[in-house]
């Protein structure tokens, strides 16, 4: 809201015009300034000389056989990101990207193979969200697309503020989940300043193995992340979950299950088991349904609430770990030559 107040002041408009603009953008999803009919015609004309509004539209929409949709958006900087819409009965979830590519370079993730090409602005993130809100209707948002949200925390927090403030979309933070590998300093800031749900990418409870899968373990060890989490209350409305891709013969043994139980003992949390989707040049294999069910049942029987997340959108490369806009970036570079 403070930014809109600055715009109003810059344009010589009354202070309350900032709230009017916010309502048009975040509640009514207008696509151009001229639709803001409670602003004077002169004010609208003046605004239009400096600014544009509207959620924007994806450059491409792909639809999976299971109803999942993947959207390609162009950023203000001329790069590309992918966003995934997952309808499931009355639940409509949008998986939002926060960076172009990613620095974390997790072994099992296609986005990491793309490399890092820049942070998204709050505007870039809200462009993904606003279009889906208007065109599809949403019940939940997860910041689990391309990138590491806590490596771009300032813009992520601006986005969350617009989503949850009364001047913005007015969403409950309980409808939003933010995922991270565990960047400790920014994780602590997020926990102190936001009430949104938190998901930690875990994937192995054993330091040496997690380091092989996730280079971020060297600087942000999962044991240290969990120790920080023990200082916060997850026993009430805010939910803490751990994401765990199950690799056959790698992290699905009884010793891994017992290490998970020891690591997370006493935390109010859940574990989400995720199927691995193969990517080129990575020698990992996903566990099958029987193996994943056995792993889940063992953890649950020992008091750790565990679920198996349904795999969606694999046929359009929209499933967990498959997002990448490397091809689009290459095509854009070739077009400029």
Handedness of CA 118, 179, 28, 80 (dihedral sign): positive
Across 183-221, b (16+ Cβ under 10 Å) vs e yields bbebbeebbeebebbbbbbbbbbbeebbeebbbbbeebb
Catalytic residue among 69, 82, 148, 329: 82
Whole-number Å distance between alpha carbons of 206 and 213: 11
Whole-number Å distance between alpha carbons of 205 and 252: 11
Q: Identify the burial level of 84 via C-beta atoms within 10 angstroms of its C-beta, where 0-12 means exposed, 13-18 middle and 19 or more buried.
A: buried
Measure Cα distances from 211 to 105, 228, 333 in Å. Answer: 11, 19, 34
Q: Is 329 one of the annotated active-site residues of the chain?
A: no
Catalytic residue among 95, 217, 320, 329: 320
* 3-class DSSP state of 180: strand
Q: Is 269 one of the annotated active-site residues of the chain?
A: no
Catalytic residue positions?
A: 82, 320
């Amino acid at each position: 809201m403070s930014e809109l107040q600055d715009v109003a002041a810059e344009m010589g408009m009354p202070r309350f015009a900032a709230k009017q603009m916010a309502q048009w953008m975040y509640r009514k999803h207008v696509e151009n300034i001229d639709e803001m009919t409670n602003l004077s015609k002169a004010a609208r004309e003046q605004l239009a000389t400096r600014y544009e509004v509207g959620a924007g539209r994806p450059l491409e929409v792909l639809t999976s056989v299971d109803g999942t949709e993947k959207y390609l958006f162009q950023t203000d900087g001329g790069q590309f990101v992918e966003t995934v819409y997952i309808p499931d009965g009355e639940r409509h979830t949008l998986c939002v990207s926060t960076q172009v590519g990613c620095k974390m370079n997790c072994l099992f993730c296609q986005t990491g193979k793309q490399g890092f090409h820049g942070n998204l602005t709050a505007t870039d993130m809200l462009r993904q969200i606003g279009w889906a809100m208007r065109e599809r209707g949403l019940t939940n948002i997860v910041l689990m697309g391309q990138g590491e949200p806590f490596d771009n925390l300032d813009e992520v927090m601006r986005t969350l503020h617009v989503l949850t403030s009364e001047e913005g979309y007015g969403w409950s933070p309980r409808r939003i989940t933010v995922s991270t590998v565990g960047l400790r300093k920014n994780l602590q800031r997020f926990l102190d300043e936001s009430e949104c749900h938190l998901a930690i990418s875990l994937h192995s409870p054993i330091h040496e193995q997690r380091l092989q899968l996730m280079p971020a373990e060297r600087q942000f060890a999962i044991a240290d992340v969990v120790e920080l989490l023990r200082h916060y209350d997850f026993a009430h409305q805010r939910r803490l979950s751990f994401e765990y891709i199950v690799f056959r013969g790698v992290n699905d043994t009884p010793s891994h299950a017992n290490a998970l139980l020891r690591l997370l003992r006493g935390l109010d949390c859940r574990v989400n088991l995720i199927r691995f989707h193969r990517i080129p040049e990575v020698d990992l294999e996903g566990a099958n349904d029987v193996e994943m069910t056995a792993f889940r049942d063992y953890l649950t029987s020992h008091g750790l609430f565990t679920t198996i997340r349904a795999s969606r959108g694999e046929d359009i490369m929209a499933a967990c770990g498959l997002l990448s806009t490397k091809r689009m970036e290459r095509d854009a570079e070739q077009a400029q030559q």
